[in-house]
Amino acid sequence: MIPIEALMIVIWSCLVAYVTWYATSAKCYAPITPQEARLLWKIHVQLAHCNGKRWRETRRGGKTVGFECECGYKHMQKRPLVGSLPSLQATSRKEKSVMFNKLHYSYD
């Protein structure tokens, strides 16, 4: 007969493994704006050389979470259930001004 201590170690190990798997692989829908959905569709059309001319929003709970292309491709924006927000990193003043100049360059 298996000692109860060994059985408890196996049970706890299985539970920890399951919780770890669930926390890292389970996902929920992440809302996106209709403009983001349209941009993602345009990227799909360009990269996949898709001939689809129409797309429609995919909604869950009253929010846009993806799109479906006329060709049958479906994109759903998802994120992990457990995760931290991206950290904000401070950039130097010079880096900000260089990026600002690149984004706001005038061709006049």
β-sheet bridge partners, residue 63: 60
Q: Residue 22 — pLDDT band, cuts 50, 70, 90?
A: confident
pTM more than 0.85: no
Q: Which helix (H) or strand (E) holds 39?
A: helix 34-48
DSSP 70: T
In the predicted model, what is the mean pLDDT of residues 88-107?
A: 60
